[in-house]
Structure 1
Amino acid sequence: MFQEALQYPRDGDSAVKTIAIGGVLLFLSFLVVPVFFVLGYIARTLRSVLDGDAEPPVFDDWGDLGMDGLKVFVIGFAYSLVPTAIALAAVVASGATLGLGGSGSGSGLAVGLIVLVAGLAVTVLSLAVAYVLPAAIVAYVRSDNIAAAFAPSELRRFAFSRTYATGWLVAFGISLLAGVVIGLLNAVVIGAVLAPFVTFYANVAGAYAVGTAVREMPAVDAGGETPDARPAA
């Protein structure tokens, strides 16, 4: 699947044009609005892969693309609230502890413990969000209903499947590879210019990996339990 995912963004007659548009949009991400179109394209890619289309979609129907991206952004923002809230709570608790106890060693120890526990909790939850979020987006894409992205019954079908886990690991591996490439590009002057294009390419390839894994899950299509739907060991 890894090699197929890396090849996927290059398939089709419009591949170069699509990657160019996606890279430019990410390059302009500081304007915020272009991000919605990129997220919308990723959702469209997932939908296309789930439907069994062999080639990546193109950038068109910009209104629908932007609306799709806005919904994906809302889903991602909602999932990020929990680790963010814990981090903010740790900051508040640390400030309150220092305010009540002064600058003594006891207060310093308490603050250090709060930071350690909060840091571990944020790390674990962030990893969990990173794993579940693609499944949530797939649930939305499959149903065209944003509420499905938060439905436990929908998420369990994906998150506890070995097939989904494999697709996610492939997408994660592609993301790491993109990070290495971007790091190498940053060593040269044009690195900052090319990085958005590499990022877009990796996101499309990752969407293919996740979408392909979900498409191969019998439990998702049948809506029932299969051996693959058992929790991964």
Structure 2
Amino acid sequence: MLRESLRYPLGGDGAAERIIVGGGLHVVTAFVPLVPLILVFGYLVRVLDHVGDGPAAFRDGTPPGFGDWRALVVDGVKATLVILCYVAGPLVVLLVTLGGASELSPETLAGTASIAVLAGSTAALLAALGVAYLLPAALAGYARERRLRAAFDRSLLRTTATDARYFVAVVAAAGLLSVAAVLSSLGAPRSVPRFVGFFLLFYAEVAAAALVGRVLGESVPAGENVPAGRTEAG
């Protein structure tokens, strides 16, 4: 399945165009923060929807294109909202912990208060790990139904969180993205211009989305608990 996911971004006749557009959006992000990433998020939602149909999407071998930019923006904005909602909790805990620590004197921090700071930091870290684990399932839930509330479906989240295949897929996807992020930041190999790393990062994002999306598609078959209007943007 990992091999199929790695081949997935390069499938079809328009592979070069998709990689150029997606990587180009990452390049633009270096100059115009966030806005181009909304389009990337929208495209990844489209990928999650496509591979959610199961093995047939991989047999077809052609990822979705960047067409219908208006729908892409809508999906990107909603995916961004989902991400913000999920990261809000850990971020608040971290900010409160750091804010409280900044008001303490060094002498106080060396005493009992240091335990509270450590506990708060640990809680923020654990919450962040939980969010990172559930977020792909949440985005896939939105991709299937095109409704924000689907990203917070407790039944879907509970089912996927305890699925061993989902765990393996998330860990593999995280590893793939980490390697791509390191390579893109280093510009490796050294003989390759650094901006090429942005295109490598987009390729890894699509492959990771394909990997997680397929596992979720097989765990929760397409059409299950999905209303008839799943393709609507509302």
Please say whether Structure 1 and Structure 2 have the same fold, judged by a TM-score greater than 0.5: yes
In 2, Cα distance between equivalents of 1:191 and 1:120: 38
Question: Residue 20 of structure 1 corresponds to which residue in structure 2?
Answer: 20
In 2, Cα distance between equivalents of 1:90 and 1:64: 39
Q: Larger radius of gyration, structure 1 or 2?
A: 1
Aligned residue type for 1:4: E
Question: Residue 162 of structure 1 corresponds to which residue in structure 2?
Answer: 164
Q: Which has the higher contact order (CA 8 A, sep 6+)?
A: 2
Q: Percent identity of the aligned residues? A: 33
In 2, Cα distance between equivalents of 1:209 and 1:68: 20
CA separation of 1:219 and 1:89: change in aligned 2, threshold 3 A: same
CA separation of 1:48 and 1:17: change in aligned 2, threshold 3 A: same
Residues 108 and 114, structure 2, Cα contact 8 Å, conserved in 1 = no
In 2, Cα distance between equivalents of 1:14 and 1:107: 58
Question: Residue 226 of structure 1 corresponds to which residue in structure 2?
Answer: none
Determine which of 55, 67, 78 is the counterpart of 1:60.
67
- Give the 5 Å matches for 1:88-127: 88-96=95-103, 98=104, 102-103=105-106, 105-127=107-129
In 1, Cα distance between equivalents of 2:192 and 2:101: 42
Following superposition, the deviation at residue 142 of structure 1 comes to 1.1
In 2, Cα distance between equivalents of 1:16 and 1:219: 31
- Give the 5 Å matches for 1:49-88: 49-51=51-53, 52-53=56-57, 54=60, 55-88=62-95
Higher mean displacement: 131-140 or 192-201 = 192-201
Following superposition, the deviation at residue 154 of structure 1 comes to 2.3
Higher mean displacement: 15-24 or 50-59 = 50-59
Aligned residues: 218
Aligned residue type for 1:213: V
Following superposition, the deviation at residue 176 of structure 1 comes to 2.8
Question: Residue 147 of structure 1 corresponds to which residue in structure 2?
Answer: 149
Residues 93 and 114, structure 1, Cα contact 8 Å, conserved in 2 = no
Gaps of 5+ in 1: 224-233
In 1, Cα distance between equivalents of 2:170 and 2:141: 15
Gaps of 5+ in 2: 226-234
- Give the 5 Å matches for 1:212-223: 212-217=214-219
Aligned residue type for 2:67: D
Following superposition, the deviation at residue 190 of structure 1 comes to 4.8
